[in-house]
Structure 1
């Protein structure tokens, strides 16, 4: 079983426990690339239904992910609160969707992030030439 399927399978109890709260999730970074090694950390990004308790939810997701994956080198990001457009675009462009309860919401998010990132990069280039 490849690592994507293994991680997705190991996180199924998490997706069931947070049913209705997690809208979609990505595996990204080296764990989602061909550069993965046993020393690589696992990067997970979650889009949730509400931002009200995002910090507590992030902490709970981290705790549950470390327990389910039996490792502590995990990074958890709540996409709703992510202000780094370049990172958000990297996640949706190169990450792997491992859970999706509402494809319409996910596709809307992806399109919005791509547009915002392109606008940001264009403005940055106009201002500083980079």
Structure 2
């Protein structure tokens, strides 16, 4: 029974990862630098690799070190920072406000998905 829950957790993050890396879905583009900043806050060192491999690696290492919840919260913090930048840009460039509002809606959806992952995460299924 535990194995199934672990697999479900991995699949849940795989879906979340896919959405985070898709600018069309998430409304953002997370850079390697964003991932390196998150890694530093987790006290991890990662090299500059393809962003697709970095995000998955960060999630796995964070789980192994029991820092997965912190990892997810750092992702949310990163998204909120981007959302704030979009809000500032929409105030400066009024003609693009509709576009930035659309991006912020997508960010809100991503934050909800990450919060859902946070709530469903159970440390006892990993160990």
Asked if Structure 1 and Structure 2 have the same fold, meaning a TM-score greater than 0.5 normalized by the shorter chain, the answer is no
Normalized against structure 1, the TM-score is what?
0.29
Q: Higher strand share goes to which structure? A: 1
Normalized against structure 2, the TM-score is what?
0.30
Q: Higher helix share goes to which structure? A: 2
